[in-house]
Amino acid sequence: MPATILIVEDEPAIAELVSLHCKHAGYSVKVAHAVLDARDIVDEALPDLIVLDWMLPDKSGIDFARELRKDDRTRDLPVLMLTARAAEDDKVRGLEVGADDYVTKPFSPKELMARIKALLRRAAPESSDEPVEVAGLRLEPAAHRVSGNGAELKVGPTEFRLLRFLMSRPDRVMTRQALLDGVWGDHVFIEERTVDVHVRRLRVALEPTGHDALVETVRGGGYRLRKR
C-alpha cells in the first residue's frame, strides 16, 4: 500500500512536474489546484503528506496549513511548503505556522523527493513499543518477550518479528511477499517458501499454550492471525 501524496499547486506545469516525480517514486498522487479542492480531498481520503504551494488562487497556503494544525485528524499530517519566496522571514513564518519543511522554487526534483521521503519516514507510525495482546497472546516489544495466558513462551528472533508483524495487523491476510517485506525488510532475496518454515517454527513455539491455532493458512493467499 503506497503512501498517498496530495499536491496543492495552481501552476499546472509545477503540479505536473511534482506529480510525475512522485509517481515515479512509487507514491499514489492526488492534485488540487486550490485550497477548496484540497480540503475536499483531505476530508475524503486522508493523504500521508501534503506538498503545499505558498500562493494559491483562493487562499494562502499558510492559512491552509494553520487550518490543518487545528484539526486532530490532520495535526500530524506532514506538510512540505513550496514557495517562490526565499526571504528568510517567510521561512520562519512558514515553519512557525506548522509546515514541517519547505523548499523554495526553483527546486531540484532530487532534493524535493529526498525531503518528501524524509518526511514520510519520520511520520511513519514508529512500531510502538506498547505491548500487544490478541486472544490471550501477549507480546512485549521492549522486553522482547512473548507469553500466552501468563506463561512465558520461547520464541526465536525471526519468529518474534514475524509474530509482531502479524499481531500488528490481525485478521488481515498477509502474502508471503508482504511478510518478507515487513519482517525481513524490502530488498532481501529470500525464497517465499522460507516464510512457510518460519510460520511453522512460530506455530511450534506457540504450541505450549495452544495459541498456534491463531496462525491460519489462507490457501493461495498467505497467512493470517485470527483476532479471536
Give contact residues for DNA (rule: CB under 7 A): 156-159, 184, 189-191, 193-194, 196-201, 203, 217-222
The interface partner of residue 193, options being DNA, a second copy, none and the CB cut-off 5 to 8 Å by kind, is DNA
The interface partner of residue 203, options being DNA, a second copy, none and the CB cut-off 5 to 8 Å by kind, is DNA
Among 66, 117, 145, 201, binds a second copy (CB under 8 A): 145
- Sole window of 30-38, 50-58, 95-103, 179-187 interacting with a second copy (rule: CB under 8 A): 95-103
Q: What are the CA-CA distances from residue 201 to residues 22, 27, 31, 185 (Å)? A: 40, 35, 46, 19
Distance in Å, CB of 179 to DNA, minimum: 11
Of the pair 15, 183, the CB lying nearest DNA is at 183
Among 157, 186, 187, 228, binds a second copy (CB under 8 A): 157
Distance in Å, CB of 186 to a second copy, minimum: 20
The interface partner of residue 198, options being DNA, a second copy, none and the CB cut-off 5 to 8 Å by kind, is DNA
Among 88, 126, 130, 186, binds a second copy (CB under 8 A): 88
Residue 47 and residue 5 in contact, taking contact as beta carbons nearer than 8 Å: yes
Neighbours of 6 (CB within 10 A): 23
Residues that bind a second copy (CB under 8 A): 13, 16-17, 20-21, 24, 88, 91-92, 95-96, 100-101, 108-111, 114-115, 118-119, 122, 140, 142-145, 156-157, 171-173, 218-221, 224
